[in-house]
Chain A
Amino acid sequence: MLGRLGRWFIDYVKGIFYALGFFFKVIKASMPFFRGRQIGKKVLTMQILFTGFEALNIIALIAMALGAVIIIQGVSLLPQFGQGELTFPILITIITRELGPLLCAFIIIARSGTAIATELGHNVVSHEIEAYIASGIDPISYLAAPRFLGVTLSILLLNLYFNFFGLIGSFFITQLIEPVQATDYFRKLLSYLRLEDIASSTLKSLTFGIIISLSSLYYGFKVEQASTEVPQMVIKAVGASFVFSIIADAVITLIYYTR
């Protein structure tokens, strides 16, 4: 009993160190992309295309709907309490600081995190990884690094688009239901929007991107032999991405409000 517990603990610690080593290797392999040595440039482009561009429609739809709901509720409800000006701080808090990055992360986990873990898992099962190694191609540099950068950049860009559609696009939706004067709306919006809001939002999406991509890559490569391991690892990748994203969100929010 004691021996089993000891073995489990040693394996657990080893696993943590293995994961940390893997994350370090992926980040190290990603550095050449910034120095112009682009082995997997096409993989990176395709990853941004699949993860970022193809998710744009759903992100735009959710952002505009959410923004429109907040504006309509705020414009119709808050002035009754003499707090009409609070519409914009609420809109910025929800769209830019809190819900925007988190919703983008959830969408990327569902769309791309699962796809990356599945693809890499099947690569392992079909011995493609061994083939890359045999051909002298580092699978981390060719497969992991572009995906890591692609997912992280995509979340950053999607978060910008989410803000763009949530703050500006929702204005046009609102015009159809409850017209608001454009100059007044944008003037107030820009006066309430702070650089700290943008920085917090960017930091969150960057952190979520790193978490999602690394979790998906880690669990994708963790598949060993059987194809039945793939869905198990995908589930673990999704679970880890959700949990670590929410924890990171809470920590960043805490830092933002206690600074």
Chain B
Amino acid sequence: MKFHIRFADQVVGFFVLIAIVSLLLIVIFMGINQRWFAKDYYFTSKFLSGNGLSVGMPIKLKGFKIGSIDEIALTTDNTVEARFHIFDTYYEKVTKNSVLELTVSPIGIGGSGMQFYPGKSRELIPDNSFIPSLDFEEGQELVSKGLVNKPPADDTIVKIINQIGPLLDNSNKTLISLKSVLKTVDDSLNGHSDGPAGDIVGRLSMLTKQLNTLMDDASGQINSILSDTSGITSNIEATSSQLTDTTGLVTKLLDPKGSIARLLDDNLELYSQITDILSSVELTTTELNTFTRYINSSRPQISSLLESSREALQKGKDVLEALSNNPLLRGGISSSKEQPTTFKGYREEDF
């Protein structure tokens, strides 16, 4: 027979006993740990909101749990009344002018809790008394008067939140200024401003209008030029296409069977004729040159002859005039100033 079946009664008894003893031990240790038999001191306080408050919430002093919330209720004046107890071991901390502060983390996790700040007085607050919270003026006044032993906030998030407030204020102010500046800029851009910027914008607007008019005028002319250019371009294009055309003018000119080719292909007959013509032209030029030299050498005689002719004509004129002015005939010959010759012969010149 197996051991545990042979001693079934003892095994079961041991099994039951250990379970009961373990349970009792756990309950006893729970009682000691949770201070079931210790005397606690009860107090009440008021808060503006029940957010973050809960039954069983620990009350802490410098990170140590000194009590907890027992009951919370909404009062007739819409404030939240909390009843809490402080452990007897920490009762000596509950001095006159003590306050409570409910800190709620804005991100929902961590950082929330009920802080207890003891008063600087040595006088203890009696059981079932009211301890003000910092939600109300009463508690804030105690802190402002320096009657509360309240250390500076050591919570990082609280510090950050405290810094965020002024930052947000500054940001708000900056945004208001920015809005004003934007309005001014907007007015200036609309030309409603009296300042130099508005003036510039107004002038710019006028210039733009004038430019638009000019552009309209120029547009017609440019269109005309463009149409001409288009015609020229099409002509050039046609010529170019003819030049590039394999059956075009150049090809025809260069065609070995073309008329030009045939004209040129005459066994140098045309060339010989051109050469002859050029020789005749050269001979004529030579003769003309000779003639010119002769004329040039005969120029004084010719000049003299022309001068004599001129004088003869002048005398003839005078005679004719004298005849016309003859008193017998008319009034005789009128006096006139002798005009010297513009050209003198080489023999008349002084040496």
Contacts and interface: CB of A to CB of B under 8 A. Distances in A.
Interface of A: 45-46, 48-49, 52-54, 56, 81-83, 153, 157, 160-161, 164, 186-187, 190-191, 193-195, 198
Given A49-B15, A54-B4, A81-B110, 4 more contacts: A48-B15, A157-B15, A160-B22, A195-B30
Contact of B109 (A48, A82, A187, A198): A82
B225 interface: no
A83 B109 contact: yes
Interface of B: 4-5, 8-9, 11-12, 15-16, 19, 22-23, 26-27, 29-30, 32-34, 109-110
A157 B30 contact: no
6 contacts: A53-B4, A54-B4, A161-B22, A164-B19, A164-B22, A190-B29
A161 B19 contact: yes
Nearest to A54: B4
Contact of B8 (A45, A186, A195): A45
Contacts of A56: 15
A53 B34 contact: no
A251 B138 CA distance: 48
Nearest to B9: A45
A53 B12 contact: yes
Given A190-B33, A193-B26, A157 B8 contact: no
Given A83-B110, A160-B23, A52 B33 contact: no
A52 B15 contact: yes
List the 8 shortest-distance A-B pairs measured between CB atoms, nearest first: A190-B33, A82-B110, A160-B19, A157-B19, A48-B12, A53-B15, A49-B8, A45-B12
Nearest to B34: A191
Contacts of A164: 19, 22, 26
A193 B31 CA distance: 10
A53 B109 contact: no
A186 B33 CA distance: 10
A84 B182 CA distance: 51
A187 B34 CA distance: 10
Contacts of A194: 30
A10 B231 CA distance: 112
B268 to A, nearest CB: 112
Contacts of B29: 186, 190
A161 B23 CA distance: 9
Given A48-B15, A187-B33, A190-B34, A198 B27 contact: yes
Contacts of A45: 8-9, 12
A52 B30 contact: no
Contacts of A54: 4
Given A195-B27, A195-B30, A46 B19 contact: no
Nearest to B36: A195
Contacts of B30: 190, 193-195
